[in-house]
Homo-oligomer: A and B are copies of this chain.
Amino acid sequence: MARTPRNTLSAELIVRTALELMEAKGTEQFSLRGVAAELGVGPMALYTYFRNKDELYDAVRDHLMGLLPDVPRDVPWPDQVRAVCGSLRVLMLQHPCLAQLLASRPLAGHETARVAEGLLGVLRSAGFDPETAARTHTTLFTYVLGAVTWEIQMAAERRDPEAWRRLRTTMESLSAREFPTVVELAPELARTTGGDEQFDYGLDLLLAGLRTPS
């Protein structure tokens, strides 16, 4: 009979389903039981492929990192850096769960190493010494992580009418005497939060600080 058919599951299928659910219902609402139900399977079936929830998270993160394109060749190295950081940002915006996965688990896995290899290769080829290349790699990565995390956060806030209204009213309740600059710059702060321009502004600051060695 068709009950308990073997080999209907696989690590890849579980990862894809998990990713779907994370994007559909948000990382907070995501649960192993939800994945199992979606697959028409008992909750414990997943433990054949992953030792626990964190291991599934790792697999999802690495799967997402695998979607990043390779570094473009035949353009100046600053544009290569911009391409790497930009495509990571786009991927994080398309899959908001990636931001949380990157922030709460170490960088490990094959695809993650591939991405690091790309950026580190660019920096080494540009002439940076090993230590500077490593430092710059970490700086760029953490900048993207923070900037896009914040961007996602603010976008979510804007989407939720309740939260957005609350944010506006608390903003407006701030005393102009106590916080003159915040009140004065409120429009700019609201306008410049998120978006390509804000991201590029910070990235260009970093690149402007970098000088090609000798």
Closest to A158 in B: B106
A105 vs B170: C-alpha distance in the bound complex, in angstroms? 14
Name the B residues within 8 Å of A167 (CB-CB): 106, 108
A147 vs B170: C-alpha distance in the bound complex, in angstroms? 28
Q: Is the CB of A104 within 8 A of B205?
A: no
Q: With an 8 A cutoff between CB atoms, is A157 at the interface?
A: yes
Give the bracket for the number of chain A residues in contact with chain B. 35 or more
Stretch with Cβ within 8 A of B (4 or more), from A12-20, A29-37, A136-144? A136-144
A149 vs B130: C-alpha distance in the bound complex, in angstroms? 24
Instruction: Name the interface residues of A179-199: CB closer than 8 Å to any CB of B.
Output: 179-182, 184-185, 188-189, 191-193, 197-198
Name the B residues within 8 Å of A114 (CB-CB): 178-179
